[in-house]
Structure 1
Amino acid sequence: MSDAQQKVNVICIKWGDKYGSDYVNTLYSMVSRNLSLPHRFVCFTDEAEGIRSEVEVKPIPKIGFEDFDEKKPWAKAHGWLKLTCFANPLSDLTGPTLFLDLDIVIVGSLDDFFTPEGDFMVIKEWDKSDATGNTSVFRFEAGAHEDALDYLKADPEKATDPVRNEQEYITQFVDRQNRLKYWPEQWCRSFKRHCIRPFPLSFFQQPRIPNDARVIIFHGKPHPDDALAGRSGKWYRKVLPTRWIAEYWQ
């Protein structure tokens, strides 16, 4: 077995201009500090300018689906282009592959994310009672879920009508195959749900890092830079400047 095959993979995807190269660079730095396993860090992107040289930069995979390959507007919304990471082959990657969103903050070791057995490991979505997972952090075997793309390509309307976004689509698809498993709930916590103090404490105490958290998920508003500065993104949600973000998000 070659050295490349022995390594685990950490991947991210960046398209458009919602997140700049600085988000990729910061994610690389956080992973480097918090993952002791030999690994490759790969960014699939349509814009490589500004990404640090230590990152393996590769084009977003073509999957033979015109809407995705040409990045039509709907495919760039609601995370749908994440599904391109299920291409087979996925460039030259093999083996365990951990996908990370660009706007997370890593506050603990990632080593254990490669330990649990399971075909598809993901966050249990906090506000859904069905099988839906939050795909800010998920693990799979490179090349293992091409059938999810085949199903989408065969009848895009039928595949997408019952769901709102990419994470509902992929996690419900894998769940129908009885291949879906979830991370321990303490590992991946929502900034909005688990870090911000309840009213009225939110006016006097900055958000906290929950016990045993490894990754803080920023879904919707605020983004990490907003929280660091004390911008909530919503008039009804008070967020004091969250100083610990500066320590970890670098």
Structure 2
Amino acid sequence: MSEQIKQVICIKWGTRYGPEYVNRIYAMVERNITPPFRVICLTDDSEGIRQEVVCRGLPELGCPRPTNAPGKWPKTALWGHKLFDLTGVVLFIDLDVVITGSLDPFFSYGAPEDVILARNWVKPLERLGQTSIFRFEIGRHGYMLENFQQNPEGIAGKYQFEQRYVTNCIKGGIKFWPRGWVRHFRMDCLGPWPLRYLRPPKLPIGTRVVIFPGKPDPSDAIQGRWSDQVKAQGRIAHIKSCFSRGFKGSRFRYLKRFFMPAEWIKEHWRE
């Protein structure tokens, strides 16, 4: 399997992420992989995406999107029996990840038929997978899309998130990447909240990919802010604003959301 072309796939739909996110993915992959490889983007708008990226349309979900659950259910279309002209094993990567180490082991780990996900350590007792970066063989699990098409609202209502559906319903079960390969920015890099006032976020040794579920995004983390709707400011200013007149919301939550700029992201998250 390691002698075959390594295929990395991503999805860009809507307007949240521009073409620069796809271009960064390609550049990060190129710097951290042994050729031959190719990056494929499934998208409804390929304008601005660098020519080295293979672009295809968005795969059809084949049913209405569920309205009763927050998960990214369009991802379920990846599990169809066919995915355009693509075949074989692919490594899916979300657009908002930061690649910091070699991706080669993600293609050689386990067996080609394995479905391998990142571990969601936010819910350790549930043994839940995270689909920010996962590997699968195109067409092997077509029943996942078929079953979803038959009852999208029921499945979405039961599992809430597509990654929980994948974790629980892949025949033969899923596997996880070795611990330490994939790090969760909030859980593994920020550190305990009082420590965030004393030192910037750390990149743990041995990390290959940093994922950013929810907030902050990499663009926010570089500046030291929780989201693009929050002003990046120093620790003293952050504390003062928390106790200012007219403050609304949970002060404790607001205090926990302070962190210094993660300068190391600039080194990796670039073209």
Tell me, yes or no, if structure 1 residue 244 matches structure 2 residue 264: yes
- Paired residue for 1:173? 169
Tell me, yes or no, if structure 1 residue 100 matches structure 2 residue 93: yes
- Equivalent residue letter for 1:217: I
- Which of 36, 55, 63 is 1:66 aligned to? 63
CA drift at 1:76 = 11
Identity across matched positions, percent: 42
- Paired residue for 2:150? 154
CA drift at 1:228 = 0.3
- Which of 196, 209, 215 is 1:202 aligned to? 196
Tell me, yes or no, if structure 1 residue 136 matches structure 2 residue 129: no
- Equivalent residue letter for 2:265: I
- Judge conservation of contact 1:106–1:215 (CA < 8 Å) in 2: yes
- Judge conservation of contact 1:37–1:111 (CA < 8 Å) in 2: no
- Equivalent residue letter for 2:52: E
> 5+ residue gaps in structure 2?
228-252
- Judge conservation of contact 2:8–2:38 (CA < 8 Å) in 1: yes
CA drift at 1:226 = 0.3
- Equivalent residue letter for 2:85: D
- Paired residue for 1:50? 48
Tell me, yes or no, if structure 1 residue 89 matches structure 2 residue 82: yes
Report which stretch shifted further, 151-160 or 206-215.
151-160
Tell me, yes or no, if structure 1 residue 211 matches structure 2 residue 211: no
Task: Report the Cα distance in structure 2 between the residues aligned to 1:187 and 1:168, rounded to whole angstroms.
Answer: 21
Tell me, yes or no, if structure 1 residue 126 matches structure 2 residue 121: yes
RMSD of the alignment, in Å?
1.9
Task: Report the Cα distance in structure 2 between the residues aligned to 1:153 and 1:232, rounded to whole angstroms.
Answer: 36
Task: Report the Cα distance in structure 1 between the residues aligned to 2:224 and 2:154, rounded to whole angstroms.
Answer: 42
- Equivalent residue letter for 1:59: G
- Which of 58, 62, 72 is 1:79 aligned to? 72
- Which of 32, 35, 55 is 2:33 aligned to? 35
Task: Report the Cα distance in structure 1 between the residues aligned to 2:264 and 2:97, rounded to whole angstroms.
Answer: 14
Task: Report the Cα distance in structure 2 between the residues aligned to 1:82 and 1:159, rounded to whole angstroms.
Answer: 14
Task: Report the Cα distance in structure 2 between the residues aligned to 1:199 and 1:144, rounded to whole angstroms.
Answer: 43
- Judge conservation of contact 1:131–1:172 (CA < 8 Å) in 2: no
Count of residue correspondences: 239
CA drift at 1:127 = 1.9
CA drift at 1:75 = 9.8
> 5+ residue gaps in structure 1?
none
Q: Which runs of 4+ in 1 moved over 3 A?
A: 72-77
What SS does structure 2 have at the residue aligned with 1:66?
A: coil
Tell me, yes or no, if structure 1 residue 114 matches structure 2 residue 107: yes
TM-score relative to the length of structure 1: 0.90
Task: Report the Cα distance in structure 1 between the residues aligned to 2:15 and 2:185, rounded to whole angstroms.
Answer: 23
- Judge conservation of contact 2:80–2:146 (CA < 8 Å) in 1: no
- Deviation sequence 1:160-214 (CA, Å, 0-9, x none): 221111111112111xx22310001100000000001323221121101112110
CA drift at 1:6 = 3.3
Report which stretch shifted further, 195-204 or 185-194.
195-204
- Equivalent residue letter for 1:238: F
What SS does structure 1 have at the residue aligned with 2:7?
A: strand
CA distance change for structure 1 residues 241 and 99 in 2, over 3 Å: closer, same or farther? same
Task: Report the Cα distance in structure 2 between the residues aligned to 1:87 and 1:58, rounded to whole angstroms.
Answer: 15
